[in-house]
């Protein structure tokens, strides 16, 4: 699987709480295949023909470090993914902006 974009940041909350909030948010979104490993603080969502978003939540001195990675998980016609996505022009910036918003949400008291 080829990494297309990565982002990370810290949320000033306990890792277990951040992981739970992230998992709840991801499972209430689009209908996608989901892989969850609470012990490792890992959750992945996969949908469509190529998209896989992976998240990892780990302890950090300031709270919880959240890492996000978007990968091309296509098992066929992998070469067509960049074409179908206009060669990902602006994609990394959009991922970074969306991830920053997600971090804000995860850090906001309920």
Question: Is the pTM value of this prediction over 0.75?
Answer: yes
Does residue 3 have a pLDDT over 70?
Answer: yes
Instruction: List, for residues 45-80, the tens digit of each pLDDT value.
Output: 998 777 889 999 999 999 999 999 999 888 776 667
Per-position b or e across 55-76, b if 16+ CB within 10 A of its CB: bbbeebeebbbbbbbbbbbbee
On the CB side of 40, CA atoms within 13 Å amount to 10
Residues 91-107: what's their mean pLDDT?
Answer: 89
Q: What is the pLDDT of residue 60?
A: 97
Task: Name which residue leads in pLDDT, 110 or 86.
Answer: 110
């Amino acid at each position: 699987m080829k990494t297309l974009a990565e982002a990370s940041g810290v949320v000033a909350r306990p890792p277990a709480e951040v992981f739970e909030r992230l998992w709840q948010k991801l499972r209430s979104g689009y209908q996608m295949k989901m892989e969850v490993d609470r012990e490792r603080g890992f959750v992945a969502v996969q949908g469509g023909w190529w998209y896989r978003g992976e998240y990892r939540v780990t302890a950090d001195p300031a709270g919880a470090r959240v890492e996000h990675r978007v990968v091309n998980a296509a098992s066929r016609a992998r070469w067509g993914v960049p074409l179908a996505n206009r060669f990902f022009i602006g994609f990394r910036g959009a991922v970074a902006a969306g991830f920053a918003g997600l971090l804000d949400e995860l850090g906001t008291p309920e």
